[in-house]
Amino acid sequence: MKKEMIKGLAVFVMLFMAGELFAQLTFSGEFRPRTEFRHGYKTLSAVDADAAFFTSQRTRLNVFFKSEDFKVGFSLQDVRTWGATKQLNLADDLSGIHEAWGQYLFDEKFSVKLGRQEIIYDDHRIFGSVGWAQQARSHDAAIFKYADAGFKLDVGLAFNQEKESLFNTHYDLANYKAFQYVWLHKKLEDFGMSFLVLNNGRQFTTLVQDVTNYDVAYSQTYGTRLTYKKNDLSFATAFYGQSGKNAANKDLSASYLAAEASYAFTSEFTMGVGFEMLSGNDQVNGDAMEDKAFTPFYGTNHKFNGHMDYFYVGNHGGSVGLNDIYSSFKYKKDRFSAALVVHLFSAAGSVADPANSNKEMESYLGTEFDFSIGYALTKGVSFAAGYSQMMATETMEALKGGSLDETNNWVWVMVTFKPSYLVK
């Protein structure tokens, strides 16, 4: 498979370099190994459980072409864990296409972008690249784009199928079946305002008289994000609501509220505070016919509620929601940077006591400390490392399992190489 991908890429490059159409061609790459020590990452460690230790690696080759009338982008990606393949390995399924898209420019303001692509808006909360994950996230979609004088409008459409077929549109992958969205953004000097409406469809099945029916449940996510930045002060707030049906075709009524502020005391030191409130379901006296759990769908969730990924990173969906109060301390000078972020977590919905399902536990889940450093070794090469620790409560233990008495921590070290070459 890798040989065919390389051949196709070579043909693409030769075609554009040989013709008069050639305008600008950019080659870039990424080699990013990351070593991790996990003992309580994503969930509390069981008593006396051995820690996990491994090195994962992302390798990318990116090609970007731009002419007066259109753009084309390719990103070939290989994600693997060191030792996962034999030394005399002939082939594997670890390589693929992260992005492959074309964008036609009708004029300087209006265009359409088609194919596999990353979709990123605002702070990555609803749509993000999930760049921390080695595989990252990309979508097969069509996006109509308009941009003019500080105003942007995107209309996105997607409809997923596993393969070509003669009949039916059954879709069994754990993914959305279809979506349609509108995103608007306006920049006004120190202020920024975005508005998003997402109609998200998930396929579900029902069995009626031994006949399996395939239907699509649509939920609606709608809301706004406002930003302000002047001199050393930055502020942002966001609100989203969700309604319609969830993936199980239950009524959905959920909400999200966030606000944060930061201030640069010096050119090197910045401090910030903020909170997020994601509604959730009640385990005690909850309504089984209604889903109140907010879902941040396709966001870069590792960025938000603690680096240990206890919430909304392939987990915690449809659960008790989350209240997250946090503070951050960031230092940057020349090539060096350091950050400390402290999160205070609590459940938005009620958590039932395992010993008595009618008894509600305290909402406080725990405190997480995330410390990280970074250093730019040279242009295109950087080093980063981090240490995180979760100080959990009995409520977290009841919700996640494992043991709060274990040392629940996570350590990582990462080196990133990013070569780039521009041909004009």
Provide the token pair at 127: 């749509």
Quote the CA–CA distance of 395 and 386 in Å, as a whole number. 26
The per-residue pLDDT for 6 is 52
Q: Which of 147, 244, 149, 252 is nearest to 199 (CA)?
A: 244
- With a cut of 90, say whether residue 11 has pLDDT above it: no
Mean pLDDT (the chain) is 93
pLDDT tens-digit series, residues 301-349? 999 999 999 999 999 999 999 999 999 999 999 999 999 999 999 999 9
Q: Which of 246, 163, 169 is nearest to 202 (CA)?
A: 246
Task: Please give the angle made by the CA atoms of 133, 388 and 386, to the nearest 5 degrees.
Answer: 65
Provide the token pair at 70: 């259109």
User: In this structure, are residues 292 and 254 in contact, taking their beta carbons and an 8 Å threshold?
Assistant: yes
3-state secondary structure of 328: strand
User: In this structure, are residues 329 and 343 in contact, taking their beta carbons and an 8 Å threshold?
Assistant: no
Quote the CA–CA distance of 178 and 120 in Å, as a whole number. 18
- Per mean pLDDT, which range of 54-63, 209-218, 262-271 is the poorest? 209-218
Element (H, E) at 276: strand 269-278
The per-residue pLDDT for 208 is 78
- Per mean pLDDT, which range of 50-59, 137-146, 199-208 is the poorest? 199-208
The distance from CA 186 to its chain's CA centroid, rounded to whole angstroms, is 23
Element (H, E) at 348: none
3-state secondary structure of 249: coil
User: Which residue has 């379901």 as its token pair?
Assistant: 281
**Confidence label for 77 from pLDDT (cuts 50, 70 and 90):** very high
User: What are the distances in angstroms from CA 181 to CA 127, 199, 356?
Assistant: 11, 6, 43
Q: Which of 216, 293, 215, 283 is nearest to 254 (CA)?
A: 293
In 19-53, where does DSSP find H-type helix?
A: none
The per-residue pLDDT for 248 is 87
Quote the CA–CA distance of 24 and 283 in Å, as a whole number. 57
- With a cut of 70, say whether residue 10 has pLDDT above it: no
**Confidence label for 403 from pLDDT (cuts 50, 70 and 90):** very high
The per-residue pLDDT for 9 is 55
**Confidence label for 41 from pLDDT (cuts 50, 70 and 90):** very high
**Rounded average pLDDT over 119-146:** 98
| pLDDT greater at residue 211 or residue 222 | 222
CA trace torsion 160, 123, 228, 231 (10° rounding): -140
Phi first, then psi, for residue 17 (nearest 5°) are -75, -25
- With a cut of 60, say whether residue 390 has pLDDT above it: yes
- With a cut of 80, say whether residue 4 has pLDDT above it: no
Provide the token pair at 67: 């002419």
Q: Residues 8, 11, 16, 19: is their CA dihedral positive or negative?
A: negative
The per-residue pLDDT for 210 is 76
**Confidence label for 84 from pLDDT (cuts 50, 70 and 90):** very high
Provide the token pair at 262: 């930061």
Q: Which of 90, 114, 92, 93 is nearest to 103 (CA)?
A: 114
Quote the CA–CA distance of 77 and 30 in Å, as a whole number. 9
**Confidence label for 20 from pLDDT (cuts 50, 70 and 90):** very low
- With a cut of 50, say whether residue 186 has pLDDT above it: yes
Beta-sheet pairing, 408-417 with 356-360? unpaired
Q: Which of 98, 34, 117 is nearest to 60 (CA)?
A: 98
The per-residue pLDDT for 168 is 85
**Rounded average pLDDT over 97-119:** 98
- With a cut of 70, say whether residue 193 has pLDDT above it: yes
The per-residue pLDDT for 414 is 98
**Confidence label for 30 from pLDDT (cuts 50, 70 and 90):** very high
Whole-number percent of the chain with pLDDT over 90: 85
End-to-end Cα distance, the chain: 31
- Other C-beta atoms closer than 10 Å to the C-beta of 212 total 9
User: Which residue has 């301390």 as its token pair?
Assistant: 329
| pLDDT greater at residue 246 or residue 7 | 246
- Per mean pLDDT, which range of 22-26, 247-251, 310-314 is the poorest? 22-26
The per-residue pLDDT for 424 is 65
Whole-number percent of the chain with pLDDT over 70: 95
- Per mean pLDDT, which range of 16-25, 257-266, 274-283, 315-324 is the poorest? 16-25
Instruction: Determine if the pTM surpasses 0.85.
Output: yes
- Per mean pLDDT, which range of 60-69, 166-175, 234-243, 368-377 is the poorest? 166-175
**Confidence label for 5 from pLDDT (cuts 50, 70 and 90):** low
Element (H, E) at 67: none
**Confidence label for 19 from pLDDT (cuts 50, 70 and 90):** very low
Q: Which of 295, 291, 281 is nearest to 351 (CA)?
A: 281
